[in-house]
């Protein structure tokens, strides 16, 4: 079970439209936390760890290189050097 701090939850609430453009999946911090727990979202500490996650999960990254991986809809930049990855 991952613990999502307030910065992570607020990031997801603010940016969830990049992954779910049709409608918000959460409107409160509590809903965001429940949703992230249900879809096994992870928080990583660097671009390198984002790459490691995608490689471990066998995700096709379409020839992306370096920080291009951060453009994936599933990757949310928290703003403090960490990244939230939501497997939609």
To the nearest 10 degrees (0 to 180), the angle between helices 29-38 and 6-15 is: 90
- Domain-embedded: residue 17: yes
Task: Tally the domains of the chain.
Answer: 1
Q: What is the pLDDT of residue 1?
A: 44
Q: What is the pLDDT of residue 67?
A: 92
Q: What is the pLDDT of residue 9?
A: 98
- Domain-embedded: residue 1: no
- Domain-embedded: residue 54: yes
Q: What is the pLDDT of residue 3?
A: 79
Residues of the chain with pLDDT under 70: 1-2, 88
- Predicted TM-score (pTM) of the model is 0.91
- Domain-embedded: residue 23: yes
Supply the DSSP string of 19-68, one letter for each residue.
Answer: T--SS-S-SSHHHHHHHHHHTT-EEESSHHHHHHHHHHHT---TT--GGG
- Closest alpha carbon to 41 in 86, 1, 73: 86
Q: What stretch of H or E contains 18? A: none
Pair 40, 57: CB distance under 8 Å = no
Sheet holding 75-77, edge to edge: 42-44, 83-85, 75-77
- Domain-embedded: residue 45: yes
Print the domain residue range for 43.
Answer: 6-85
- Domain-embedded: residue 35: yes
Q: What is the pLDDT of residue 2?
A: 57
- Domain-embedded: residue 12: yes
């Amino acid at each position: 079970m991952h613990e999502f701090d307030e910065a992570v939850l607020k990031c997801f609430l603010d940016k969830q439209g990049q992954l779910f453009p049709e409608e918000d999946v959460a409107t409160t911090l509590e809903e965001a936390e429940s949703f992230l727990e249900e879809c096994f979202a992870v928080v990583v500490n660097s671009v390198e760890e984002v790459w490691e996650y995608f490689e471990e999960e066998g995700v096709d990254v379409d020839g992306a290189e370096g920080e291009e991986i951060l453009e994936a809809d599933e990757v949310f930049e928290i703003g403090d050097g960490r990244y939230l990855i939501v497997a939609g």
